[in-house]
Amino acid sequence: MFAVIETGGKQYLVKSGDALKVEKLPAEVNGIIIFDKVMLTAEDDGTDVKIGAPYLEGVTVEAIVAEQGRAKKILVVKYKRKVRYKRTIGHRQHFTKVKVIKV
């Protein structure tokens, strides 16, 4: 069985056993998170499809928090020609790595 969940303003297609990185969630490592914004569920062969409007009621996806971390640094450069203006700053996005245990 698979499902489409929404978290952090993004949608993810998940199955039991999947590991994915999502936007930072306020949870501790090895804690359980319940995603209740489930948009679609279906069997692996494509039968028994349920579509929410926008979410399904009474359907949840459970996951365990595997890691809290920060992504690789990206550099952001600001530049204005002719005035000797150049600024470089870095950014590291926070993320939460979860492993889906039950759909």
What's the pTM value of the predicted model, to 2 decimals?
A: 0.84
Q: Would you say residue 41 has pLDDT above 90?
A: yes
The number of folded domains in the chain is 1
Q: Integer distance in angstroms from the first to the last C-alpha of the chain?
A: 7
Return the percent helix, strand and coil in the chain, to nearest 5. Answer: 0, 60, 40
pLDDT tens string 2-14: 999 999 999 999 9
pLDDT per residue as tens digits for the range 74-90:
999 999 999 999 999 99
* Pick from 55, 67, 75, 61: nearest CA to 24: 67
State pLDDT tens for residues 43-102. Answer: 989 889 999 999 999 999 999 999 999 999 999 999 999 999 999 999 999 999 999 999
Domain span at residue 66? 2-102
